[in-house]
Amino acid sequence: MGYYDETDLYDDNNHKRQKRSRRGGYPLVTGFIGAIIGAVTISIVSPDIFNLTNKPANLNNDTNTVPTQVINVSREDLTTTIQNARKFVVGVNNYQSSNPFSMETEEAGSGSGVVYKRVGNKALVATNNHVVAGAKQLKVKMADGQLIDAKLVGTDELLDLAVVAIDAKYVTNIAKLGDSEKINVGETAIAIGNPLGFLESTVTEGIVSSKAREIPQDIDGDGVADYQTQVIQTDAAINPGNSGGALINAKGEVIGINSSKIAEQAVEGIGFAIPMNIAKPALDQIEKFGEVTRPVMGVGLKSLDEIPQFNIEETLKLPGSVTKGAVVTHVDPNTPAAKVGMKQLDVIVALDDKPVSDVITVREYLYSHKKVGDKLKITYYRDGKLTNSTLTLASSQ
């Protein structure tokens, strides 16, 4: 898949590889290079999704210090707002084959969705990737109970987003998308969806508990965190089946797409939603291309803290003061990294002069600040000597 650096998660026959747990590490054996090559490398990609023009919220700081601006809305007005919003929140039903030898399908799961756009005679519904995963057929249940056919437009596993299309003639209300950067901790947050798969158009009310919480995400399901997802935290109840539904503010604007998958454990009073300012650019790309195009460096990486100390000293020859960074496990040919001469066992310690502590840090920086065609300054150690290179990020396509 072009320069998309997640390729080490699969072999040449597209079979899933297993990634070692961080707890295990590697034994102190002489085959360090073989061991580090054998480690499943982690993709270093930078989507043109979080921010096409503006910087997102600081991922390392919860911006809860912004003074709360109270939106005064009467209970009567809020009730009207909720009733209108319930009309653009729908159910999304996932049908899969009952057995591999049958063409018949049966409902395998369900979630929620938000009708956010009308394009000609089609209407687009935003939902979660995990709601539609593995579907042979999709149906959308409208607020009035009608069950209609839907077509998958595309998905993005990283952000757990998907877009499905339905016939616009069934749509009465289109969601108004809000600015998730302008929300404040303490203001009203209302979650709408279909919890448990059958409680249609359920409404739960709470507040914004955090506008920029970071939650570790295990994208490939191997038990090791691959990325820190920036989310809105709310105490409005978000349960299985709510996934893909709307988190709205008191004005009825959608400020986030609910996701129960982000929370690894069911806990009371904590729900998460993908902020709209992060979701919207991704939805636009999915609509146009069926996926999100991401720029890449063309390297595989492993966090320095996963490497045995003996190998750090003897093979990487790092100064004792260097304890954090990301080790290059391989460089793909004809990629940006290859063109500037980066090599296996280079240890990246900074990007654009910003310190790198591990692979997740690299992801966070690239995902938040870079896009295809951007220049990226990489500072790294090679054989114990500090150097740097500047490359141009390429497309994953």
Per-residue model confidence (pLDDT) at position 363: 79
User: Which phi and psi angles does 131 have, rounded to 5°?
Assistant: -70, -35
pLDDT at 289: 92
State yes or no: pLDDT of 50 exceeds 60.
no
- Amino acid (1-letter code) at residue 269: G
Higher pLDDT, 62 or 3: 62
Q: Is the confidence at residue 301, as pLDDT, over 80?
A: yes
pLDDT at 270: 85
- Range 50-57 average pLDDT: 35
pLDDT above 90: percentage of residues in the chain: 55
Highest average pLDDT, of 42-46, 96-100, 142-146, 194-198, comes from 142-146
Catalytic residue chosen out of the listed positions 156, 160, 220, 346: 160
The CATH class, in words, for 5-48+293-395 is mainly beta
The answer on pLDDT for 74 being more than 80 is no
pLDDT at 17: 38
Closest C-alpha to 329, from 307, 313, 308, 349: 307
Both tokens assigned to 323: 């304890």
239-244: average pLDDT? 84
Asked whether the predicted pLDDT for residue 4 surpasses 70, the reply is no
Q: Which two tokens stand for residue 320?
A: 């004792």
Stretch 10-15: mean pLDDT: 38
Mean pLDDT across the stretch 323-339?
A: 95
At 158-193, the pLDDT tens digits run 899 999 999 999 999 999 999 999 999 999 999 999
What pLDDT band is residue 261 in, cutting at 50, 70 and 90? low
The average pLDDT across 15-38 equals 40
**According to the model, what pLDDT value does residue 206 have?**
94
- Catalytic residue, from 112, 201, 209, 243: name it: 243
Q: Over 50: is that where the pLDDT of 124 sits?
A: yes
Q: What is the pTM of this model?
A: 0.71
Contacts of 83 (CB under 8 A, 6+ apart): none
Please determine, for residue 18, whether its predicted confidence score (pLDDT) is greater than 50.
no
Q: What ranges do the domains of the chain cover?
A: 5-48+293-395
| Mean pLDDT, the chain, whole residue set | 80
Q: Identify whether 260 is a catalytic site residue.
A: no
- Inform me whether the pLDDT recorded for 8 exceeds 50: no
> Looking at residue 340, what is its pLDDT?
97
Stronger pLDDT, 194 or 218, i.e. the higher one: 194
Residue carrying structure tokens 């600081």: 58
130 belongs to the catalytic site: yes
> Which residue out of 8, 46, 130, 369 is catalytically annotated?
130
Q: What is the predicted pLDDT for the residue at 44?
A: 42
pLDDT of residue 391: 97
pLDDT of 28 above 90? no
* pLDDT (average), residues 60-83: 63
Query: Residue 391 burial by CB count (10 A; 0-12/13-18/19+): exposed, middle or buried?
Result: buried
Instruction: List, in sequence order, every residue forming a beta bridge with 111; answer none if it has no partner.
Output: 92
DSSP bridge partners of 235: none
SS (H, E, C) the chain: CCCCHHHHHECCCCCECCCCCCCCCCCCCCCHHHHHHHCCCECCECCCCCCCCCCCCCCCCCCCCCCCCCCCCCHHHHHHHHHHHCCCEEEEEEEEECCCCCCCEEEEEEEEEEEEEEECCEEEEEECHHHHCCCCEEEEECCCCCEEEEEEEEEECCCCEEEEEEEHHHCCCCCCECCHHHCCCCCEEEEEECHHHCCCCEEEEEEEEEEEEEEEECCCCCCCCCEEEEEEEECCCCCCCCCCCEEECCCCCEEEEECCCCCCCCCCCCEEEEEHHHHHHHHHHHHHHCCCCCEECCEEEEEHHHCCHHHHHHCCCCCCCCCCCEEEEEECCCCHHHHCCCCCCCEEEEECCEECCCHHHHHHHHHHHCCCCCEEEEEEEECCEEEEEEEECEECC
Catalytic residue check, 179: no
Rounded to whole angstroms, the Cα distance separating 335 from 120 reads 40
Percent of the chain with pLDDT over 70: 78
Higher pLDDT, 249 or 33: 249
